Chains A and B, each alone.
Chain A
């Protein structure tokens, strides 16, 4: 760990003209194409979350303490700010499949949401071509409803029209492999079945810029293989793919570039082998 960090900081020190903190260890594996079109430009992005209800040591959530706080005119300590992404910059090009790795809480999911335009930046900006979409409809689904209703609801939430929903419906049911359970409420599903249905719904739509957050490690082995194939197909259709996963094999197989996030900053950015090797060491 110490060794690799030292090495990194040395490389960093040798880049006087670089305004950014990331380290490019390797050029593109492919020969540089003449028309490499940028699809996503992230420019010195900072994201700050406000978290409510994060109790400090002084306040353990009882009414008397809350009153004292008001009387003492202290602000609102249970509102905490979390600086999740701290100055990230990179350019993604057409045809890129970028894996994002990092520990829990390193800002991976936040970064994806910012690229998708779902979290407003505190400073800096994300520039995109078209509408990047996050692969995930979980939040729109309702556990009490049948799979059938959830498929329709999820498709509409992603912006499909009734005709497209009709076309995709059978495909979604087939792909999820839940069979007659589609008539039952989702609350009766096993966690694997639920995950399969969610993935089937989410992947029913084609995207220009596709953001995938930990969607692969769901279901049994058979479904895993099926979903990896589906991701591959979506990658071919999409211009650019971002993939967040803890499963490094998936990233190594799918991606041609890996960004390593550490505490909200880019620690390393380059081809999968080099970055993943460094990441495994660290």
Chain B
């Protein structure tokens, strides 16, 4: 504000005498810089971005809860579906793979094995699928309000996390019913879920950015997810089917166990089932994927922050 009055008068769009801008008017960019105005679209630094996201934590939580509530609000049974859906899923998987197809050969306590795998995989699958739609499906929200865009994929993952809490309740009951004892290892279940949640957030951030520009991703994703499901050892034991097979080299099983979904499934089975033999290095693999995906995913998503909402 220390500029001479004449400069400000020049900068005014309309001169008082003839109504046309004065000649030799300074460029608008310089006028803006002189008054300390900043570009409306500028990506904040990563620490500032994380701080903004933290300030919006209430929005993220409320948005996630609201989506969960509105999902079943039109049905007669209402929120009861949050429990019924995983229960019915478990029943169908057991009927299909346990009784009809008889995949259970050689696996002790196959119902627990199958249902644990299915629930853990479903969590990742739904979080990633939701994340892929979180930007492209919310363009009107992005174009109307200002908030760190990472709040959306984050909210979608938290929505799935809330659903998972209910599924885990169902899972624990089912595992106990199938005869597994409660052990000290159960105390580590929250840690395993935390690691998986970190991975899911990172993965959904990556897919959110990809899905924001590649519209065909949502069409393709179900097929990718199904392939991932079959490769993750949900219905069968990777160690038995691949690791012990004579015509398949031994490293194939190791590679398959490095698959994050397989790793989190194996970890949860180790914790919940005494009959399940723990894999070596399983914790390292799970921690690696959690940190790598979360940090990498955040960085990757933040890099395009100012571009979301354009296409």
Contacts and interface: CB of A to CB of B under 8 A. Distances in A.
Interface in A213-272: 269-270
B141 A140 contact: yes
Interface in B20-37: 20-21, 23-24, 27-29, 31-33, 35-37
Interface string B293-311: 0000000000000110111
Contact of A270 (B14, B29, B40): B14
Contacts of B144: 113, 118, 134, 136-140
Given A27-B19, A119-B310, A38 B145 contact: no
A41 B20 contact: no
A24 B19 contact: yes
Contact of B37 (A15, A20, A127): A127
A26 B13 CA distance: 10
A162 B56 CA distance: 11
A37 B67 contact: no
Contact of B41 (A120, A140, A144): A120
Given A32-B9, A138-B144, A144-B73, A38 B32 contact: yes
Contacts of A32: 9, 12, 16
A15 B20 contact: yes
A181 B41 CA distance: 39
B28 A43 contact: yes
Contacts of A128: 37-40
A139 B21 CA distance: 40
A40 B311 CA distance: 25
A142 interface: yes
A34 B21 CA distance: 18
B32 A149 contact: no
A153 B28 contact: no
Contact of A37 (B1, B55, B140, B307): B1
A77 to B, nearest CB: 14
A90 interface: yes
**Interface hub of B1, B16, B19, B29 (most chain A Cβ within 10 A):** B19
A118 B143 contact: yes
Contacts of B11: 38, 91
A89 interface: yes
A91 B28 contact: yes
Max count, chain B CB within 10 A of own CB: residue among A18, A43, A89: A43
A183 to B, nearest CB: 13
Contact of B14 (A27, A119, A131, A143): A27
B142 interface: yes
Interface residues of A, number: 67
B29 A43 contact: yes
Interface residues of B, number: 55
B217 to A, nearest CB: 13
Interface stretch (B57-65, B101-109, B173-181, B257-265): B57-65
A75 interface: no
Given A50-B310, A116-B146, A129 B36 contact: yes
Nearest to B59: A156
A272 to B, nearest CB: 14
B62 A89 contact: no
Contacts of A118: 142-146, 309
A120 B139 CA distance: 13
B8 interface: yes
A123 to B, nearest CB: 12
A179 interface: no
Given A120-B310, A126-B41, A152-B62, A20 B35 contact: no
A25 interface: yes
Contacts of B74: 144
Given A91-B12, A140-B144, A157-B145, A17 B40 contact: no
A166 to B, nearest CB: 12
B185 interface: no
B149 to A, nearest CB: 11
Interface string A61-85: 0000000000000000000000000
A158 B19 contact: no
24 contacts: A24-B21, A36-B8, A38-B35, A41-B28, A52-B311, A116-B146, A118-B145, A118-B146, A118-B309, A119-B143, A119-B309, A120-B41, A126-B39, A126-B40, A128-B39, A129-B35, A129-B37, A131-B146, A137-B145, A138-B144, A139-B138, A140-B141, A153-B59, A158-B145
Given A91-B12, A126-B41, A157-B147, 11 more contacts: A27-B16, A35-B8, A41-B28, A127-B39, A129-B35, A136-B145, A138-B140, A140-B144, A143-B70, A149-B66, A185-B73
